[in-house]
Amino acid sequence: MQNLKQMSSQNKVGLAGGHRACAGCGFPQIIKMIYGQSPAPVVTTCATGCMEIATTIYPFTAWRGNFIHSAFENSAATISGIETAYQALKKQGRLPAEQEMNFVAIGGDGGTYDIGLQALSGAMERRHNILYICYNNEAYMNTGVQRSSATPQGGHTTTSPAGKVIPGKIQFPKDLTAIIAAHDVVYAGQASVGFHIDLMRKADQIFGKVGPKFLNVYTPCRLGWGSDPAQTMEIARLAVETCLWPIYEVVEGRWKLTRKIKEKKPITDFYKTQNRFRHLLKPENETLVKQIQEEVDRRWHDLLQRCGEGA
């Protein structure tokens, strides 16, 4: 694994400075940590969203390697075409024999959990040699904070507002990582931008594997969450420590917790750091919070079982 010092000395991958991501946004860190581990140049496809907009306003680009964005729902399908072209041209001897490349598709949670799910499932099932990264900030942030199927229960967004009758999003988020793991991929995992060593170690492992790989990386969005940009990393860690976002990996079918939580913090500790949960801390929503905590506990228990950590 390349450590931070090594990564900063070989400043040739991922994003250049000067992109337009907000202060406190996690995705530039995600790219830095992951791309720093790739031993070969990376070709990137990115779904329409904050990352694509903030890094590529013509005639500028922050991408040091080859990059393509085409639409919202098709990052995985586009990378399928690129990776296949690479295989075809390599086979015909039209690319230098020694040339190695990694193929990475990126999407936000909207572009991955929702509109891009079909393309993602297809690419994983066809077993392309790709890595798909979901940078998950739990809502459609680029269009102005709308609910996605990754939005947490009770979370306020502009389409699941904390109203007088309905207190935010009604449903618990979809377990996408498990869905992708069910495709029998060579690697599926969850990470958090707040635990960067864990994230880098996962990336290092991923780039050593041939076949379909998926990494779901949790990252706060200070605008969408109503959080302090200076607290991004703390909040990203708190999500893990409350077990709202357990970090683990499924490597060739084997589930493994990569951060054990000995003393689980209450979810309200996480809620307190963000405006999107402010309404949940009011007395009238006590029952709802209790239900969500029970569901978090139940899922955590199930995950421990799957990881052979059974209590």
Partner 1 sequence: MEKAIETMSSSGTTGKAEQKKEFQARTGNEAMAEAMRQINPDVCAAYPITPATEIVQIFANFVNDGLVKTEFITVESEHSAMSACIGSASSGARTMTATSSQGLALMYEMLYIAAGYRLPIVLAEVNRALSSPINIHCDHSDTMGGRDSGWIQLFSENAQEAYDNLIQAVRIAEHPDVLLPAWASTDGFIISHGMENIEIYPDEAVRQFIGEYKPAFTLLDNRKPFTLGAADLQDFYFEHRRAAYEGMRAAKKVILEIGREFGNKFGTTYGFFEGVHLEDAEVVMVALGSTAGTARVAIENLRERGIKAGLLKLRVFRPFPAEELVKALAHVPAIAVMDRSDSFNAQAGPLATEIKSALYDAGQHPKLINYIYGLGGRDIHFKELEQILEQTLQAGEPKDLNSRVVYWGVRE
Binding site for partner 1 (CB under 8 A): 41, 43, 45, 52-53, 56-61, 63-71, 73-74, 76-89, 91-92, 95, 99, 101, 118-119, 121-122, 125-126
85 touches 118 (CB < 8 A): no
**In angstroms, what is the minimal distance from the CB of 272 to partner 1?**
36
Taking each helix axis as running N to C, give the angle between helix 117-125 and helix 75-91, from 0 to 180 degrees, rounded to the nearest 10: 30
Angle at 222 between CA 270 and CA 189, to 5 degrees: 65
**Count of C-beta atoms within a 10 Å radius of residue 16:** 13
Q: Which amino acid is at 255?
A: W
Chain-centre distance of CA 61, in angstroms?
A: 22
**In angstroms, what is the minimal distance from the CB of 228 to partner 1?**
28
Cβ distance to partner 1 smaller for residue 29 or 56: 56
Rounded to a whole number of angstroms, the CA Rg of the chain reads 19
Cα four-point dihedral sign 250, 255, 260, 265 = positive
Cβ distance to partner 1 smaller for residue 58 or 164: 58
**In angstroms, what is the minimal distance from the CB of 293 to partner 1?**
38
Cβ distance to partner 1 smaller for residue 70 or 159: 70
**In angstroms, what is the minimal distance from the CB of 20 to partner 1?**
10
**In angstroms, what is the minimal distance from the CB of 83 to partner 1?**
8
